[in-house]
Structure 1
């Protein structure tokens, strides 16, 4: 398909069409090179199109940004045009960086401005928050360690982004974060830092000095701190700040515990007073690093997996599947060997008696295999840790909180539902504690109940996993 770029037409021309729109005759190739395919975003000042670069053999995807103001007001339009051009200038100045979209072209065609940049495949953090729910402390730490080096990079080139928020951070499938939308970015010369400028940013995320037109490097740090609070709480910034007391009350809205160490870092990032705030991304990275435990030196190779079983169960196949990263097959094998260890193969489900007497050696072997081959992401002991973090109670509310944290529940049409087995994520990009999933295999009385909350948890405690 070829999407016409003429704002008064926008016809979707069929594949294999000529280089001119069938409806209005407008050129379909931008700069005789970039072919628009569909609109992927629009606002008051223009549209964004998904496109392909036809100069390259593989025809890689790219993004076309078209400046096309749709309302009156000469001064506003003039300022928007300047910011549009400024985005191209800033991207060119920043050059190539794996976590910033690369500028491919900037020019005018048919009396309209166009910016062409690298296509970033992924969803923004606002979308992730909506689909997966609130972030854990581990996710926030990963975000900071992933994104702060990008701040170091842009700030070292005297660029201030000025619009840090969840919508402007893209999460790629490999877990890498990309900072986008440099339209509000400001070149921070010493003169510019000392002079009041244009007020740009998003309400709630903007630092006080930036709201007064004096953005500095620490302004981006403030906005990133507020972004972290919103991801932790699923609450908008305006509701996380108490105007009457002039203080942040984000802890009142937490859905999971946050360590005092991380809390102190976030508190310093969002200090209204500049002198009390972190002055650079490097300072935050150093604070995070100082909290990380130092790894123990490796003295000798780790011993082979013991594969102990009190019931003579062979765990070789489970070990081999986990070692090969075949997570779905390993999950199914886990159910089989556990039924065998509980001597419930014929019944094909567990009851409270069989779980209360489940051999600790077998439970420990299964857990150690999952923890080892998932690099600490999966396993019963990992799930138990998260269970304790969300309250450690044996009730439906706690079970739902656990499901939210480990990714067993997903928001759909305004509500969260439990995922079916085929909707689970069987790779290391799954949330921590996502596997193993044997939630449906316990029967109490005449009904099926959740695996964790009512049966297995007490046995894991007794076995000291």
Structure 2
């Protein structure tokens, strides 16, 4: 049995283990490790002590590595980044991004249940990550507060622990689960598995985020397990039973997402997010490998208001972010018939066609993996309490969050980062089409636009 100790060098001295393990679950143990040559910290996960004692340990390590390689292919801001697989003696380790933060479970134990707006912010982020995973043909199967990390000093959630991840096409899966968050089909090796399986766990997670104080007072630490509901007729109290401040819409969306029978449950994460009021746009397919018809974009014409968006689509598909930003400005000015002026005034913004705005937004969201787009900016802006009304402090917070400010100064266009490594919501920047003579603050321009639109 192998347990790495603080100060131990592994992988021929490449990494040095730092302190006690970060955590241990049903399958793995995660260590914090330093790579001295780069001065960088990583998280390295191995199979835990119990798994090492199994007779089929070698077989389990092969599965462990294969699963890690699958996750390595995921590239999404709200999914833990896997870098590589290493070997130290008989033990393999998965080298991952190290996140300095706490899990949502720890966060709630310290703070108590969340407000609806903050809870929805994190659920929306993890929901987008799940849509990406499902489009890649996989299920996470272990969504819960303890498997969601919050980056320190940021309202940014990251999905972790892919130990139970399986292909959606798999007909038989291990009956591993977390009570209270796993749907009824996960209690069986064979069941009706699909995106709805993760919907249940995501809805249960939101249930907990909004009702933790009430659950803890009654001696519960998670929603009623699906098996108890199915076979013991134990009812699941509506979220509002524990927290009367929850809106009826969110209350109903949670219950629909936690329906016992898979066929009665909300079928996709996108639909769940729509039910929560987080999206009202046409469904987006996040599988960026799937070819798109030249003339259409998932049911939305690429030619609306006599405007052709195919060039914008092509720039985004190729990762040419600056060219796409310039093209976004061009088409918006063209739609508003303001090419000659080179900027939009309040009336132009107020009357900008919704279909065109949504088409532009959907293209940005799709090709950035949910990182860029007007709807992403809207969510961030509203998370600070932003509305149509000008608020200097909110605008500054928004600018800091999306990386449009440095210190106390707003960045010039030449200093904008045209790279996917840029902060969430950094693009499209639209700096060229702000009505500077009318709207003296770009945050106010954005707030005016976003508060008027259902994206």
Partner of 1:257: 245
In structure 1, which of residues 70, 91, 104 is the aligned counterpart of residue 83 of structure 2?
104
Q: How does 1:32-47 map to 2 (within 5 A)?
A: 32-39=13-20, 40-43=22-25, 45-47=27-29
Which of 31, 44, 51 aligns to 1:64? It is 44
Number of residues of Structure 1 aligned to a counterpart in Structure 2: 282
- Say if 1:47 and 1:246 are closer, same or farther in 2 by CA, change over 3 A: closer
- 1:237 is aligned to 222
Q: Write out per-residue CA displacement over residues 45-88 of structure 1, whole angstroms, 9 at most, x where no aligned residue.
A: 553221122343xx221111232424786357467535532441
Q: What's the counterpart of residue 282 of structure 1?
A: 270
Specify the alignment match of 2:184 in structure 1.
Answer: 208
1:179 aligns with 2:159: yes
Matches within 5 A, 1:73-152: 74=54, 77=57, 80-94=60-74, 96-152=75-131
**Aligned residue runs from structure 1 range 326-365, under 5 A:** none
The answer (yes or no) to whether the contact 1:164–1:227 under 8 Å persists in 2 is: yes
**2:31 paired residue among 49, 58, 62:** 49
Q: Report if the CA contact (8 A) 2:102-2:150 is conserved.
A: yes
Contact 1:86 1:183 (C-alpha < 8 Å) held by counterparts: no
Q: Structure 1 residue 240: deviation in Å?
A: 7.7
| Change over 3 Å in CA distance of 1:376–1:136 after alignment to 2 | farther
Change (3 A) 1:83 1:135: farther
Distance change (3 Å), C-alpha of 1:255 and 1:78: farther
Q: Is the 8 A contact 1:45 1:80 kept in 2?
A: no
CA RMSD in angstroms, aligned pairs only: 3.4
Instruction: Give the C-alpha shift of residue 146 in structure 1.
Output: 1.8
Shift of 1:7: 4.0
Q: 1:105 to 1:260 in 2, by over 3 A?
A: same
Following superposition, the deviation at residue 371 of structure 1 comes to 9.2
Residues 310-336 of structure 1: per-residue CA shift (max 9 Å, x gap): xxxxxxxxxxxxxxxxxxxxxxxxxxx
1:271 aligns to 2:267 (yes or no):
no
What residue is the counterpart of 1:372 in the other structure? 391
- For the 8 Å contact 1:90–1:185, the answer to whether it is kept is no
CA distance in 2 between counterparts of 1:252 and 1:265 reads 12
- Calculate the TM-score normalised by the size of structure 1: 0.54
| TM-score normalised according to structure 2 size | 0.55
- Give the C-alpha shift of residue 222 in structure 1: 0.2
Aligned-residue offset at 1:118: 0.8
What residue in structure 1 maps to residue 334 of structure 2?
none
Q: Is the 8 A contact 1:88 1:115 kept in 2?
A: yes
Larger radius of gyration: 1
Check whether the contact 2:240–2:246 (CA below 8 A) recurs between aligned residues.
no
The equivalent residue for 1:336 is none
CA spacing shift, 1:183–1:289, aligned 2, 3 Å? same
Change (3 A) 1:373 1:67: same
Contact 1:123/1:171, CA 8 A, preserved across alignment: yes
Give the superposition deviation at 1:31: 4.6
